[in-house]
């Protein structure tokens, strides 16, 4: 199959080298508004380039992978859907609920699949937690803890357009909690703090945050996020039940002495290398008609609604039900 990749930045470069190495992908065509960036990346991974979306379509692609900034996702997903092309889109589908619903409506109307890039669904440790919960080996699960701790803050310009720590960062935790438990979130209480650079507060954001989720069966989940985890990149998830506990990500690279014996992960690219490959292997199978959609757009909407509720809860200092932000 021939895949069109839109966006040759940080995550686009990672996806390009993965796609170029996958056996079902017989051709890769890269486009970016920065044509030089697309050309350099294409040369590196042995791909073709297209100067525009029209050229990308004319190049005869069977599906597209969208890895442009979040603000462009809705329009690009809609464009691909109207062209009848299956889409893999980086998270989130849009920065807001209305934009996400609009993109989902476009793919539904076109009858094409949309897979969203919540790669933790393909992380071996997180899948093992999901399987243990589903198989009953943890007994009744009372508590889930999920953490996304970045070693250093992103640049101020990124924070300005990121949508805030819950939509940009903890949204991965919200999706992971739903994924491992198979339950829906009904209520969120959240708070945040700023003890780092001033630009977080200047953009109405926080550098560190905690969200407590109540799930529809009464299970509690706690999600923590910080932009200042000096020890290193740390993403972990734990589930604690009446019959056992299981942790994902507590390996030799977790920056937690004395458990850590190896170097900490530098960032998401290292920590989730295998998961990024697995999600695109799954997408190729989906495009070929031989595999399930491992993260449909509806799951991205559900995670975004939790982020919306968390943001509102932090701002207003009160618990927020998902039904309120979904209305
Ligand atoms: N799943 C993950 O773990 C993960 C990690 C990082 C980023 N992301 C997501 O991936 C997306 C991209 O993030 P990034 O850090 O790679 O950004 P980036 O800024 O490094 O790259 C984006 C690229 O898109 C290009 N671009 C912008 N508008 C375009 C358009 N209309 N058409 C074609 N090209 C266009 C830019 O020139 C740039 O090269 C974001 O939505 C982000 O949330 C996900």
pLDDT digits (tens, 9 = 90+) for 114-156: 999 999 999 999 999 999 999 999 999 999 999 999 999 999 9
For the chain, give the percent of residues with pLDDT over 90. Answer: 91
Q: pLDDT band for position 161 (50/70/90)? A: confident
DSSP letters for 296-327: BHHHHHHHHHHHHHHHHHHHHTS-EEHHHHH-
Q: What is the sign, positive or negative, of the torsion defined by CA atoms of 12, 17, 20, 25?
A: negative
Mean pLDDT is lowest, of 12-16, 90-94, 121-125, 249-253, for: 249-253
Q: Best substitution site from 4, 7, 266 to test ligand 1's pocket, by max atoms within 8 Å of Cβ?
A: 7
The pLDDT value recorded for residue 84 is 97
Contact 203/160 with Cβ under 8 angstroms? Answer: yes
> Residue 9 Cα, ligand 1 centroid: separation in angstroms?
6
> Half-sphere exposure of residue 156, counting CA atoms within 13 Å on the CB side?
7
What's the confidence (pLDDT) of residue 162?
87
User: In the structure, what pLDDT confidence band is assigned to residue 260 with cuts at 50, 70 and 90?
Assistant: confident
At 290 the pLDDT is 82
In the chain, alpha helices (H) = 10-21, 35-45, 53-58, 70-82, 97-110, 124-135, 156-161, 165, 171-181, 199-202, 268-271, 273-287, 297-316, 322-326
Note the pLDDT of residue 51: 97
pLDDT band for 259, please (50, 70, 90 cuts).
Answer: confident
Q: What percent of the chain has pLDDT over 70?
A: 100
**73 CA from centroid of ligand 1 (Å):** 9
Q: Which CATH class is domain 120-272+284-326?
A: alpha beta
**What is the rounded average pLDDT of the residues 161-183?**
96
* CATH code at 2-112: 3.40.50.720
Residue 2 in this model has a pLDDT that exceeds 80: yes
- pLDDT for 258 equals 80
Spatial neighbors of 33 by CB under 8 A, at least 6 apart, are: none
169 Cα to the center of ligand 1, angstroms: 15
Confidence of residue 326 (pLDDT cuts 50, 70, 90): very high
> What residues does CATH 3.30.360.10 cover in the chain?
120-272+284-326
Band of residue 186 on the pLDDT scale cut at 50, 70, 90: very high
For residue 258, report the distance from its CA to the centre of ligand 1, in Å: 36
Probe ligand 1: pick from 9, 54, 93, 119, max atoms within 8 Å of CB? 9
- In short, whether 163's Cβ falls inside 6 Å of ligand 1 is no
pLDDT of 14: 97
Pocket test for ligand 1, best of 10, 37, 68, 88 (most atoms within 8 A of CB): 68
């Amino acid at each position: 199959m021939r895949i069109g990749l839109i966006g040759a930045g940080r995550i686009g470069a990672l996806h390009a080298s993965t796609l170029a190495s996958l056996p079902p992908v017989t051709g890769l065509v890269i486009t970016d508004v920065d044509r030089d960036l697309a050309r350099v990346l294409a040369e590196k991974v042995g791909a073709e380039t297209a100067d525009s979306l029209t050229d990308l379509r004319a190049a005869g692609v069977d599906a597209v992978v969208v890895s442009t900034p979040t603000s462009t996702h809705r329009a690009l997903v809609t464009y691909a859907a109207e062209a009848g092309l299956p889409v893999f889109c980086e998270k989130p589908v849009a920065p807001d609920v209305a934009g996400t619903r609009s993109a989902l409506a476009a793919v539904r109307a076109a009858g094409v699949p949309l897979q969203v890039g919540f790669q933790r669904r393909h992380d071996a440790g997180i899948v093992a937690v999901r399987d243990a919960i589903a198989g009953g080996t943890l007994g009744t699960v009372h508590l889930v803890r999920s953490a996304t701790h970045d070693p250093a803050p992103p640049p101020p310009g990124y924070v300005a357009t990121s949508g805030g720590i819950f939509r940009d960062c903890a949204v991965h935790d919200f999706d992971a909690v739903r994924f491992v438990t198979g339950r829906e979130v009904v209520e969120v209480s959240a708070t945040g703090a700023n003890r780092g650079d001033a630009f977080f507060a200047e953009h109405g954001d926080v550098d560190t945050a905690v969200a407590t989720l109540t799930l529809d069966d009464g299970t509690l989940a706690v999600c923590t996020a910080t932009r200042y985890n000096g020890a290193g990149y740390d993403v972990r998830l734990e589930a604690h039940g009446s019959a056992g506990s299981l942790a994902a990500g507590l390996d030799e690279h977790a920056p937690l002495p004395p458990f850590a014996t190896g170097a900490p992960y530098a960032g998401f690219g290292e920590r989730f290398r295998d998961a990024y490959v697995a999600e695109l292997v799954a997408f190729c199978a989906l495009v070929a008609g031989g595999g399930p959609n491992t993260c449909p757009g509806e799951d991205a909407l559900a995670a975004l609604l939790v982020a919306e509720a968390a943001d509102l809860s932090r701002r207003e200092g009160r618990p927020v039900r998902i039904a309120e932000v979904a209305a």
